[in-house]
Amino acid sequence: MTQNAILFIPDISGFTEFVHHTDITHSRHIIAELLELLIDANTMNLELAEIEGDALFMYKLENHVDVLTIEKQIEAMYLAFHKHLKRYEYQRICHCGACSSAYNLKIKFVVHYGEIEFIKVKDSKKPYGSHVIQIHRLLKNNVPLEEYAIFTESVLPVNEENQLIAEYDFGTITFTYNPLSHLKEKLPEIEPIPDNVPKHKLFDETQLVKIPALELYEVISNFDYRLLWTKGVDKLEYDKNKVNRAGQKHKCLINKNEEVEQTTITKAVGKNQLVYGESTKNVPFTKRMNNYFILEETEHDYTKLRVEVFADFKPFGVLMKPLMKRNIKKAISENIKELIQLIDSGFSTKK
């Protein structure tokens, strides 16, 4: 049985190069977040037929086409996509190829209308037919823009100014393409990450570690490796599907029943330095406590690792400062020792 349907594909451009030339783990997480955002921005109640690597194939059974509604849908997804990338550029703390080049990703849309059938595979049904083939072929085209929306003539009457005719093995398709870059004017301002360091310094130690700075940064900032070198933490709870970034929260279980929530932070450092930080409000006698790992690569793949701890105290909490300094020095010095031993054992994040 055939039914009329709007066929809709948002496609992330630059995906192939992004994946092949960057860290595969972080690129996978970043693309997954972007695809989830597009799904969440589904104002038209489109059905998701398939996640196709860097694209979503969506459809809606409909006997007529409302172009204005489709354009609003495209705008909602476009703004959600670029708002996320804009915020991500502010919040990222990782300097790998994927995280530092995510802002280069683009998005395009293809919209088509026609009759479809459904094919059932186990418990799922998928749109099927010649129009499904046509919309997918249109992903490869000669549009002279990086970001655009394609509307076939079954959706929108052809605009001669932005008209193209694509030739495929089954024949030709005439379509109009509309630029999308003007929509960036509607993006909200994204506030930069606050850079406020607590007043009291409780710890400051520097060690030389035989590992390149970027790899050491991954060991420190990636929660997958945290329990390999951090003592006193029984369990770590965090979102395994997201790349760690400023503002992201995680929980540490200490002494088997004490739960401590920490937030990833950053601060300004020197030009050739990397910084990773965490802040918590759970430490007794303090309003908050921040610890920072500052990395600077030296010659022969060594990294100078500096660890700093700062705190703002509650009223009269400053009286505990000498005791806290001793306890922090003992705990962090042991963790640094464990970290160096882990690196010296031949551990590597490069699988």
Residue 57 pLDDT: 97
Residues with pLDDT less than 70, the chain: 15-24, 192-194, 351
Residue 295 pLDDT: 95
Residue 306 pLDDT: 96
The predicted-structure confidence for 94-151, as pLDDT tens digits, reads as follows 777 777 778 889 999 999 999 999 998 877 888 999 999 999 999 998 899 999 999 9
**What gap in Å lies between CA 293 and CA 265, rounded to an integer?**
11
Query: b or e along 162-176 (b: 16 or more beta carbons within 10 Å of the residue's beta carbon)?
Result: bebebeeeeeebebb
CA distances from 315 to 17, 49, 285 (A): 54, 58, 8
Q: How many CB atoms lie within 10 A of CB 350?
A: 6
Residue 131 pLDDT: 93
**What gap in Å lies between CA 184 and CA 186, rounded to an integer?**
5
The 3-state DSSP class for residue 115 equals strand
The predicted-structure confidence for 280-296, as pLDDT tens digits, reads as follows 998 999 999 999 999 99
Identify residue 320 by its one-letter amino acid code.
Answer: M
Query: Whats the size of the chain, residue-wise?
Result: 351
Q: Are strands 148-152 and 106-121 parallel, antiparallel or unpaired?
A: parallel
Residue 23 pLDDT: 61
